[in-house]
Structure 1
């Protein structure tokens, strides 16, 4: 019969998947708006900020960065090329592995990552302000648990 959805939920509001979808879309709109003045897409920001963070301790390869961000290696490669063209990332021979290339944020990339991070964190704070500290911590724990389970074979 038209309009008769066979679902376990009594209404759409009861679906955790739909709630996550709606919350994620609303949050992503805020993040896109925060990143627009920096001329960065969300994935460009995630890779640049992650590289800037990771580069503090040891040389970072494309595979390391893809693993850290849980992005596909090919997508990581394409986005890194764009960031390289923008002058935010440079590639150098890896100091410990002749076969590998080490990625580094440029001074411009570090500055951009820090400026964008400030705006992203402000957008996060505004978005998550609707929750108490305890609710935010529970949400973060729950999302990390779901993400961790998704990594299992």
Structure 2
């Protein structure tokens, strides 16, 4: 039986699942899933610049599908972390902003995930290493994502 080297796709899939599970576990005490964290953290980051993005704009920034953003936003709203309202320039659009509690939870979650990020990248020198920078550039190239 011949053993084949895994493809980059297979390795990325495994790494993505490992990463998702680690973030799920890390943010669970805050009542968040990895997906909810991703949306809340992105929204929090946008709000620091004064933005109140629409669900569509947040989908574009986060890389999530708009229907998934809508579902996550409703859950975060039910949990008191996000406020959804009619967008002032487009009555068909829903505008999002973190609630004061959402800001608190986002800050705590971001700190937790940053620490986890350092742990998960320690084998390549952490997030400040040249290898990490190379990895990020490679992944952006594969995604066709511009900095």
For the residues of structure 2 that align with 1:115 and 1:68, how far apart are their CA atoms? 21
- 5 Å-filtered alignment, 1:3-152, equals 11-13=4-6, 15-55=7-47, 56-132=49-125, 133-148=129-144
Which runs of no fewer than 5 residues in structure 1 stay unpaired?
5-9
Q: 1:141 to 1:66 in 2, by over 3 A?
A: same
Contact 1:12 1:18 in 2 (8 A): no
> Higher RCO, 1 or 2 (CA under 8 Å, sep at least 6)?
1
Deviation string, structure 1 residues 19-52 (Cα, Å, up to 9, x no partner): 2222222222221111111111111111111111
TM superposition shift of 1:148: 1.5
Aligned length: 142
Is 31-40 or 89-98 further displaced after alignment? 89-98
Q: What TM-score comes out, normalization by structure 2 length?
A: 0.86
Q: Where in structure 2 are there 5+ consecutive unaligned residues? A: none
Q: Who wins on radius of gyration, i.e. which is larger?
A: 1
Q: Distance in 2 between matches of 1:29 and 1:44?
A: 13
Query: How far off its partner does 1:98 sit?
Result: 4.2
Superimposed CA distance per residue, residues 75-128 of structure 1 (whole angstroms, 9 cap, x where no aligned partner): 111111000000001123334444433211000001001101111111110010
Q: Could you list the structure 1 runs, at least 4 aligned residues long, displaced by more than 4 angstroms after superposition.
A: none
Closer/same/farther in 2, CA of residues 51 and 12 from structure 1, 3 Å limit:
same
Structure 2 Cα separation of the partners of residues 73 and 147 of structure 1: 18
